[in-house]
């Protein structure tokens, strides 16, 4: 399966503080070469907008294009790598303004 940056997928996402995972939406933040050649995908966690906001969170302004059932935000400091076989399904894509906000925050957080 080929994944594009800013696809919204459902995947078992690991907790940062315990040895467990939860099925949840995530945003693909890797280029297609990662999924095609290495069979991996890099993901940023998506959480409900009702959860406490972190200063780096990106509020999703256009939920309709994402396939998400409720207002949500991206938590770009929580990134995971998953085998493509672990992705359950693709549900949507981020809108252009939300893509730009996520790109800007990732550029701030990650050395490239």
Interval 26-68: pLDDT, tens: 999 999 999 999 999 999 999 999 999 999 999 999 999 999 9
Q: Are 27 and 65 in contact (CB under 8 A)?
A: no
Query: Between the CA atoms of 84, 33, 57 and 18, what dihedral angle is there, to the nearest 10 degrees?
Result: 40
The predicted structure's pLDDT at residue 8: 97
Look up the pTM and report it. 0.92
Q: Record the tokens describing residue 38, joined without a space.
A: 């290495």
Give percent above pLDDT 70 in the chain: 100
* Rounded percentage of the chain residues whose pLDDT exceeds 90: 86
Helix (H, G, I), strand (E, B) or coil at 31: coil
Q: Which fold has domain 7-109?
A: SH3 type barrels. (2.30.30)
């Amino acid at each position: 399966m080929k994944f594009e940056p800013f696809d919204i997928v459902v995947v078992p996402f690991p907790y940062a503080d315990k040895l467990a995972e939860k099925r949840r939406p995530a945003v693909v933040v890797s280029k297609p070469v990662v999924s095609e050649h290495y069979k991996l995908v890099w993901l940023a966690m998506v959480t409900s907008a009702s959860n406490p906001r972190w200063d780096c969170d990106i509020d999703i302004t256009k939920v309709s294009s994402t396939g998400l059932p409720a207002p949500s935000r991206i938590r770009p400091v929580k990134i995971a790598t998953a085998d493509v076989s672990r992705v359950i399904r693709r549900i949507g894509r981020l809108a252009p303004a939300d893509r730009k906000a996520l790109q800007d925050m990732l550029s701030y957080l990650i050395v490239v």
